[in-house]
A and B are shown apart, each in its own frame.
Chain A
Amino acid sequence: SQQGEEDPQALSIQEGENATMNCSYKTSINNLQWYRQNSGRGLVHLILIRSNEREKHSGRLRVTLDTSKKSSSLLITASRAADTASYFCAPTNAGGTSYGKLTFGQGTILTVHP
């Protein structure tokens, strides 16, 4: 599996604003996943987008995937203080077997101020 690089490293916004974070990767993928981690806790799976999909929605989350640019973005609309967390992307390579292995970048630290 390959590592995604999240950008920006940190994002600070006010409650109610939208938050956008980006992920870039290097080689072709089967799918790309986004996870959230609250401080000191485990990761929570947010959404998975496959290589043949361009956009996917889940509640206040919208994920886009541009395979030509090898990039993805995660948009959180109407942010809440509870969205404060680190966000990680995990691209999965096409082909091969990487059982149980996701390679994470350093993540984007999102802080939502009440």
Chain B
Amino acid sequence: KAGVTQTPRYLIKTRGQQVTLSCSPISGHRSVSWYQQTPGQGLQFLFEYFSETQRNKGNFPGRFSGRQFSNSRSEMNVSTLELGDSALYLCASSLAGNNEKLFFGSGTQLSVL
């Protein structure tokens, strides 16, 4: 069974640009969560989607958005990039999003110059 796939693995952008990250969950998993990881703030929850609906959201500005498609694949978008958005962005999937046993992808390392 294939794991969680995130693309791209690395991304370099400049301030003011926008970026879209993609996540394909494990087959059959309907919940997809997104996390941001930085050396200073650690792992922080961004949002969770289940059956194309956002069910939960962390404390991030509106520049951070996401969506989920009918096949459970998810994308997150960051608009008007800031230097502080440089981070490892992790996607995790689970069967029902009940916080038990999340399966993480390898992440997308975003660098904002």
Contact = CB atoms under 8 A, between A and B. Distances in A.
A101 B104 contact: no
B102 A43 contact: yes
Contacts of A97: 55-56
B103 A100 contact: no
A42 B31 contact: no
Given A1-B99, A42-B4, A103-B45, A98 B106 contact: no
Given A99-B50, A100-B94, A40 B104 contact: no
B19 to A, nearest CB: 19
Interface residues of B, number: 30
A42 B107 contact: yes
A45 B100 CA distance: 9
Contact of A92 (B45, B50, B99, B107): B99
A44 B49 CA distance: 20
A48 interface: yes
A98 B48 CA distance: 9
Interface of A: 1, 30-31, 33, 35, 40-45, 48, 88, 90, 92, 97-107
List the 10 shortest-distance A-B pairs measured between CB atoms, nearest first: A100-B48, A42-B104, A100-B33, A104-B43, A99-B55, A99-B56, A100-B97, A99-B97, A43-B104, A101-B45
A102 B102 contact: yes
Contacts of A33: 100-101
Interface string B88-100: 1010101001111
